[in-house]
Amino acid sequence: MASSRTWFITGSSSGLGRQMVETALVNGERVVATLRTPEAISDLGAKYTEDQLLILKLDVSKRDEVVSAFESAKEAFGRVDIVFNNAGSGIVDEVENTPEELARWQFEVNFWGAWYVTVEAMKCFRETNTPIGGKLMHMSSMHGVNTFPEGGWYCATKFAAQAMVESLTKELDPAWNIKIVVLCPGFFKTPMVTNTHILEPLPAYAVNPQLPTILGRKALREGQVPTGDPVKLMNRIFELSKTDEHLFHVPLGVDAIGLFEARAKTLGCAAVGGVKWSEDLAF
């Protein structure tokens, strides 16, 4: 890749997306910042020139808009080197209580939107960037490997998107020189926590204030969730964007490491426990 690279960043309006935009620009990179409300980063548009920053309106759940955004990015800068697949949304609710339309909307953004961006990234890296390729940085979550109560639908979208991306890595021709990394951060101080849709609990759950879903809502509403520094996180991710080290899942944060370790232990125990149940099952 050239010393100054072009980033395509989704979900750039606030939180980690905006911080990634700022981090890339401060480090001399070119950025295509996409978001549903371009006016949200008008201050950055006034600060940087058109040959440094292109701001595009994009709803990742609309495939035609994703295709158009990539075309605009290539027209402006000639290529895209890094795709930061970050746009997402969250719902806090019991699995059985979530309205179907909200559950489906969660998938439209977190899964289908991520897929639309991934497909266009692959085309760009393979067809426009030959033979240099490019890097897809898929922003997942520690909850893409381990679930939590009241976050079933959010976790489902993250698990699904990670499975899709992991399968993709096994399909790509190495000659295309496409690198994919799945970023799994823990809690960081961003509007994502406060902007999450926290629905009222199902009455059957509400009668017991000690149930995990009730305690979880309370912690979120009262700001009891421990959080890390988003500036430090984006600086670390920027470092990751430049490494040639072979990585796939990258947990980021002490809490993320803890959930990875817990998941590994759970799966290890399941494998051991399943041995006797798997005996004599062959023809």
Q: Which residue has the tokens 């490019």?
A: 134
Residue 168 within a domain: yes
Q: Burial of 76 by CB count in 10 Å (0-12 exposed, 13-18 middle, 19+ buried)?
A: middle
**Contacts for 98 with CB less than 8 Å, ≥ 6 apart:** 91, 152, 153, 199
Q: 41-59: string of b/e by CB count within 10 Å (b at 16+)?
A: beebeeebeeebbbbbebb
Given 48, 116, 154, 205, which residue is catalytic? 154
Q: Which domain holds residue 146?
A: 6-267
Cα–Cα distance for residue pair 140/162, rounded to 1 Å: 7
Check which CATH number belongs to the domain holding 103 and give it: 3.40.50.720
Residue 282 within a domain: no
Among this protein's residues, is 140 annotated catalytic? yes
Residue 281 within a domain: no
Residue 88 within a domain: yes
pLDDT at residue number 19: 96
CB 122 within 8 A of CB 164: no
Q: What is the pLDDT of residues 246-259, one digit of tens each?
A: 899 999 999 999 99
Cα–Cα distance for residue pair 25/12, rounded to 1 Å: 13
Residue 108 within a domain: yes
Q: How many independent structural domains does the chain possess?
A: 1
Cα–Cα distance for residue pair 177/190, rounded to 1 Å: 33
Q: Whole-prediction pTM value? A: 0.93
Given 12, 13, 89, 140, which residue is catalytic? 140
pLDDT band at 1 (very low <50, low <70, confident <90, very high): very low
Residue 234 within a domain: yes
Given 158, 179, 205, 241, which residue is catalytic? 158
Among this protein's residues, is 158 annotated catalytic? yes
Among this protein's residues, is 232 annotated catalytic? no
Bridge partner residues of 85 (DSSP)? 138
